[in-house]
Structure 1
Amino acid sequence: MKLKKIPMRKDIVSGEMVPKKDLVRVVKTPTGEVQLDPTNRANGRGAYIQIDVETAKTAKQKRTFDRAFGVHLEDAFYDELIAYVDHQQGRRELFGNEQ
Structure 2
Amino acid sequence: MKKRKVPLRKSVVSGEMLPKKELIRITRSKEGHVAIDPTGKMPGRGAYVAIEPEEVQKAWDKRILDRVLETELTDEFYQELLDYVSHQKARRELFGNESR
TM-score, normalised by the number of residues in structure 1:
0.97
Compute the displacement of 1:30 (Å). Answer: 1.3
Name segments (4+ residues, structure 1) moved above 4 Å: none
| SS of equivalent residue, structure 2 residue 14 | coil
Compute the displacement of 1:71 (Å). Answer: 1.1
RMSD: 0.7
Compute the displacement of 1:39 (Å). Answer: 1.4
Q: What residue number does 1:24 align with?
A: 24
Q: What residue number does 2:64 align with?
A: 64
Identical positions, percent: 52
Determine whether 1:46 maps to 2:46: yes
Aligned residue type for 1:45: R
Deviations 1:73-96 (A, max 9, x none): 111110000000000000000001
| SS of equivalent residue, structure 1 residue 39 | coil
Separation in 2, partners of 1:13, 1:30: 23
Name stretches of at least 5 consecutive residues in structure 2 with no aligned partner. none
TM-score, normalised by the number of residues in structure 2:
0.96
Separation in 2, partners of 1:14, 1:98: 24
Query: What is the aligned length?
Result: 99
Q: What residue number does 1:90 align with?
A: 90
Separation in 2, partners of 1:43, 1:72: 19
Separation in 1, partners of 2:71, 2:30: 13
Q: What residue number does 2:8 align with?
A: 8
Name stretches of at least 5 consecutive residues in structure 1 with no aligned partner. none
